[in-house]
Amino acid sequence: MSSSSSKFQRFRPRRPFATDWLVDVLPRFFDRTLERIGISHLKWLVLFLLVISIPLVITPLKVWQQGVVAFFVLAIGQVVVRAENRVNDKQISEYYHLFLVWLSLVTTSRYLYYRLNYTLNFDAFINGLFCVLLLIAELYAILTLVLAYFQTLHIQDREPVDLSAYPQDQWPKVDIYIPTYNEDVEIVRKTAIGAIAIDYPEDKKKVYVLDDGRAEKYKARREKLRKMCEEVGCTMMTRDNNEHAKAGNINTAFRRTKGDLVMILDCDHIPVRDFLKHVAGFFFDPKLAFVQTPHWFFNPDPFERNLRTDGRIPVGNELFYKVLQKGNDFWNAAFFCGSAAVIRKEYALQVGGIATETVTEDCHTAFRLHSLGYKSFYYDKIMIAGLAPENFSSYVGQQVRWARGMAQILRIENPVLNRKLNLTIPQRICYFSATSHFFYGYPRLIYAIAPTLFLLFRINPIQGLGLETLAYALPHILLSLNTNYITYKHVRFSFWNEIFEFVMAFQAGYVTTMALINPNLGSFNVTDKDMTLIKREFSFSNFDWQSVRGLLSVTGLVVLGLASVPFWLILRPEDTEAVLVNALWCVFNLTLLMAALLVAFEQPQERTAHRLRRRLGATIYSYDKSWSGVTLDVSETGTRMILEVEGQPNLPDEIEVELVGDYGARVIMEAQIVVAKSVNEHQMELAVKFINVTQSQRDNLTLVTYSDVKEWYSQTREYVDKPLQSLGFLATGLFRAFQEFKVDKGAVKVRKRVQASAQLFWEGEFYLATVTAIGATSLRLELDDSITSNAKLLKPDNLKKMQQEKPLVGLLLSQDAMSQSRERFLTQILSLEILVPGDSSSSSPKKIALELSFPDQFKDRQSAKIKELVRVLH
């Protein structure tokens, strides 16, 4: 070791002993101990923990003693969370998580023991009724918590199997299915182009667009889809009916195609080029039925857009795809999700193809494959880019379908008690957790109205609610947050799960109840995509009253409950403790309810295409010059980039832009500069919009943007949950929702700077001028009174007339006044600016600038001449 290194080690600040003990010593001790014991010893260890937990659960304490215990337990939870944040070892994090799971279960059991023995209130029928309802809601929440703990005991991270280790003739043949119903053909085209570009041997890959059979009114769309398939080089497959919707469409294709494996893509899920290189190797395991990968959406969903989170809060599906699916994978219970997956066709046909009895056919199919003893893998690498529902009502429709389908599976298959199923106990638990998850609707509403019942109607579902109840409840609630924080801190922020549940409470509660009563109720609905909102209007018409009318009623009750608090404190001071606890509960509920209601207030999507934060190589070309840089974001209509420059480059308003993907795919587009501003002496930020785009360019841009991707930027999250900040950010959603969108004021109008001679022809006379800036659509002209003939034009009456009438004027342009070759143009005056006002003896200005445009009606005749002039002038 060098002396400098030794010096650094010698003066490096030492961590406190307690930190060393928690971060290093104790976890390593458990690591060595658990390596020595077998599974039988581990069972005895679990039994020992159960035995010592019993007195911790049932020992009675006075209120102050329970308060001390609560403080001590919560302090332990905070210490463990802080220690876990300091380690980078996944195994050590799991030890901390297991410890907190045990501590959380103990405190939850103690709270439940207290609730059942001391707080049930049956002194009147109405109190007893709501006491039972609240208790059921709490039992459901505790059951859900325990099931989630089990699912996340170990987070499985898989590495891909190297395909190159096997001869290419042994690689499986893959059929790629893109099921469609009534979606826009341009959306399907992008997915088909991405599927065709997947890097896999051509003789072992074939792409099919599965067009579902429908009524005659869709004939025109089908013909357009057929032409698209011919253009891009994929096969269109149509059936003569649309029975069983998407599942039936896929099952029909199963019987017609010859591949060993089937890769399924929703029609808006564009795959990256190395998808199969990452996934196909897993199938050398002969027991493997399917591999699922994450669904990822590049556009903001209604929660992101309407609550204006700006990407700071993880979206709803990240918890499932980043944690729960990996936890399920450890128990061989990963779910098939209908897209971004590869399935072995032979095994799928053994269970009758894709399940058709429920509207969540994907999960139901996985359930049946697991029941035959087959394996499933979950590979956590984002390899598709899809479209989330654009508006709130579409999001609600999607969630309702999932809720109904999961309840149908629970009702039809009964994964816990059905002895005919060849499922392991962990698989049964994972499926029960998934199928019971969407029953949160009514329990969530019970939590919302429970304190209001007391404040408005003196209905008391909890006997003796006060500080004693808080002393038992807070450790249960906060320790569960601490425990989940370790596994969820990147994927689900504190208190935001309650927002998701409040938003869907009424709909989820209704459809799950109906599905339990009759699983055949309801039908498959396609989620609407690409419904962009453009206008910026603060109007009641932007609020989805229909979807949240029930939630509005609950919010009104909570507000009335809070309004009653002063009357309680004045008229019933002996109930102050209970009133304050219920009031705090109402304040918390109101915060969540207001955020949930804001999700239904549609914010505009003012851009015509969604931006993706892609870092692509970029080069702009302006005639004989070029500048290189990197994109900050890119969309289908434009891009924003940082250019490496020297000084201030003299750019025209129209340029060519070349973008290069991660693997070398390229596209060159004509573009118009929208924003240009200096970052520093050597960098410039440029925003451009693409113009005159051909279909070939659009297809190549799709490949560069969505297909030629090594890793999507959402693979890892840069934000980490901080509970208090998360609650504060949630509470301030009202202010963000009604803020005006910021307009970038740093932009300047970009045109090529020149010094060229011009003659302006207006009302039968010529005036000499100088062109100082010119672009493809406009130019800037300056005139002064140093030339005698210009004096007439500079008179106030003439200037006022030009400003008011904005007339068409003729223009002769050349590089200098001595040139014999002059180009003629028709232009229109847009605006006038006085650069040098006249002196006290004259009302006429000494110098003016005119903004002139090249009118669109003369574009065909003048466009080529303008571009050539922009090129040669200097």
Query: Where in the sequence numbering do the catalytic residues fall?
Result: 212, 362
CB-CB neighbours of 65 under 10 Å: 12
Query: Residue 120 carries which DSSP code?
Result: B
Strand partners, 829: 852
List the Cα angle 233/237/241 in 5-degree steps: 155
The alpha-carbon radius of gyration of the chain (Å, integer) is 34
Question: Taking phi first (over 0 means left), then psi (-120 to 50 degrees means alpha), and beta for anything else, what does residue 464 get?
Answer: left
Phi, psi of 490 (to 5 degrees): -100, -10
What's the rounded Cα separation, in Å, for the pair 100 and 172? 44
Instruction: Give the chain's end-to-end CA distance (angstroms, integer).
Output: 62
User: Cα-Cα-Cα-Cα dihedral of 259, 264, 267, 268, to 10°?
Assistant: -130
**Non-local CB neighbours of 807 within 8 Å, separated by 6+ positions:** 762, 828, 829
* Torsion sign (Cα): 712, 714, 716, 719: positive
Helices (H) and strands (E) in the chain, counts: 29, 21
- Beta strands 654-660 and 341-344 are unpaired
What's the rounded Cα separation, in Å, for the pair 610 and 533? 12
Six-digit token string for 810: 């003729």
Amino acid, res. 140: Y
What's the rounded Cα separation, in Å, for the pair 217 and 427? 45
Six-digit token string for 318: 């990240």
| Closest residue by Cα to residue 721 from 320, 321, 314 | 314
User: Cα-Cα-Cα-Cα dihedral of 111, 112, 113, 117, to 10°?
Assistant: 110
Query: Residue 463 carries which DSSP code?
Result: T
* E strands, 265-316, in order: 270-271, 288-292
Phi, psi of 182 (to 5 degrees): -130, 20
Phi, psi of 759 (to 5 degrees): -125, 120
| Closest residue by Cα to residue 677 from 618, 749, 625 | 749
- What are the Cα distances from residue 419, in Å, to 414, 415, 426? 9, 9, 14
Q: Which residue has the tokens 């609550």?
A: 307
Query: Residue 692 carries which DSSP code?
Result: S
- Say if CB 243 and CB 194 are below 8 A apart: no
What's the rounded Cα separation, in Å, for the pair 376 and 347? 12
| Closest residue by Cα to residue 96 from 107, 88, 151 | 88
* Torsion sign (Cα): 538, 540, 541, 545: positive
List the Cα angle 852/856/862 in 5-degree steps: 80
Three-state DSSP class for residue 857: helix
Three-state DSSP class for residue 645: coil
Q: Which residue has the tokens 């799971």?
A: 101
- Beta strands 765-774 and 341-344 are unpaired
| Closest residue by Cα to residue 249 from 174, 182, 172 | 182
What's the rounded Cα separation, in Å, for the pair 386 and 529? 10
Listing DSSP states for 77-114 in one string gives HHHHHHHHHT---HHHHHHHHHHHHHHHHHHHHHHHHH
